[in-house]
Structure 1
Amino acid sequence: MSTDLPTTTAIQKYEPFSKNPFTNSLLKDRSYTHHTRDPTPNLDPNTATTTPTSWQEMQDGNPFFRVTCCCSSAVQATLFLSRTPTQSRTPSTEAEAEAEAEGHLLLHVGPGITGQTGIAHGGFLATALDEVCGNLVAVAGLDGGCGMFTAQLGVVYRRPVFVPEGGTVIVATARVVGVEGRKVFIEGVVRDGDGVVCTTAEAVFVRKRAGDSAVL
């Protein structure tokens, strides 16, 4: 296990997850790398509640998830864990290495993410899945330094994610299942604080074309 920010801030980010048996088991798994800073370039969840001071900061800082969603009533803490096959063994091919990357986005959330009373909003769960997929793509280096677009995200809501007044922990997981040219195929899952699968997804991310970040 490794972490990129062993500070008081990191300890505070770990606290809600170390208290939950399911997420604590992930924390103790030494095959995962811990990212207490956002692995996506230019993003840092440790400053998520800081109001951007310029349009450029809003453009560079993923403001929807890292500013709008992050507040005392909604996303209160996040921690991203990643694992690639090269951390535990040597894959037989580069394609095999790409297709086995896995990541978990741990989220401590409050009632601000609910739609119906006490139930997580489906749009928020889709956002969490998109976020964990993007983080995994960045960590695995699958964007070739050009960045990625979400081309498809198909979500199936299997069980409600209950959010009590005092908040709860949920985990969004992404696993790369294939790479074809500029396309990356990913499977996603959202589990509640007990580790029960509540939402599943299939996503396709497309690497941006070099020199033209606005074209798929």
Structure 2
Amino acid sequence: MANHPDFAAPWCQTLLSDPNLQWAEELTSVFADRSVTNSMFNTTLNTSHAIKARLFFRRPSPEPDAAVQREESCMLLSVGDGVDGKAGRAHGGFNALILDQVTGVCAHHAAPGANPPATATMTVDYKAPISTPGVILARAWATEHTGRKIWCRAVIEDGEGKVLASGKALFICPRPSAL
């Protein structure tokens, strides 16, 4: 997917050629028992009109509040008009979905386990519309991990680094299984 034509833009090529970038698996690849299907991304939105291509990777985070592991989870996406609310603009719920997905991956990386953490609450701030079709970058980093709670922040940016949406989320890790 890294060679998808929509990722040929110079900013994408610069991003993807970063030597600090580590390719990451999607959550569905991690769970052999299929307890996480992620069918929203793998089936519903995986079309030539919605999410045309997506890549997951990790890299060092430039954010000063990236307190857990100093890394961020990233998702590069090529989106089409199948996610529109208004013509040429992604639906606001799509922004929230992307932020929830990237923060969930980040929270799971911060506390890997048999089951991923669940979103307890998320706040989304809309800054500017996501233009469609287009390519966006979603980044998330964990700011705190206390007990079963993981707090994450995230942004969706365009190719110029302009923040289109930001979010804060709290995830709760499952209780350990009784032996």
TM-score bracket for this pair, using the shorter chain length: 0.7 to 0.9
8 A Cα contact 1:146 1:210, kept in partner: no
Q: Structure 1 or 2: larger strand share? A: 2
Q: Which of 120, 138, 152 pairs up with 1:172?
A: 138
The structure with more radius of gyration: 1
Q: Which of 106, 128, 131 pairs up with 2:98?
A: 128
What is the alpha-carbon root mean square deviation over aligned residues?
A: 2.4
Aligned equivalents of 2:105, 2:55: Cα separation in 1? 11
Q: Is 1:30 aligned to 2:6, yes or no?
A: no
Letter in 2 for 1:38: E
Q: Which runs of 5+ in 2 are unaligned?
A: none
Superposed displacement of residue 65, structure 1: 2.0
- Tell me which residue corresponds to 1:137: 107
Superposed displacement of residue 142, structure 1: 0.9
Percent of residue pairs identical: 32
Q: Is 1:154 aligned to 2:123, yes or no?
A: yes
So what's the TM-score if we normalise by structure 2? 0.85
- Tell me which residue corresponds to 2:166: 200
Superposed displacement of residue 61, structure 1: 1.5
Q: Structure 1 or 2: larger helix share? A: 1
- In structure 2, relative to structure 1, the CA distance for the partners of 1:183 and 1:84 (3 Å cut) is farther
Q: Which runs of 5+ in 1 are unaligned?
A: 1-9, 44-55, 86-95
So what's the TM-score if we normalise by structure 1? 0.71
Indicate the larger mover: 140-149 or 178-187.
140-149
